[in-house]
Structure 1
Amino acid sequence: MLASETLEAAQAEPVAVSLMSMPKSKGKEFDGFIITEGQYSAPLLNPAWSPSRTQAARRLLRVAIARARYGVMLVRPSNVGPLTG
Structure 2
Amino acid sequence: MNREEIRAAIVVLPEQILFASPELNHVSEIIAFQTNQLVDFVQTIDPQLTRVEATFLAAALIRGLPAHFNDNLELLAGVKEFAEEIKNAR
TM-score normalised by the chain length of structure 1: 0.26
Query: Is the helix fraction higher in 1 or 2?
Result: 2
Higher relative contact order (CA closer than 8 Å, sequence separation 6+): 1
Query: Is the strand fraction higher in 1 or 2?
Result: 1
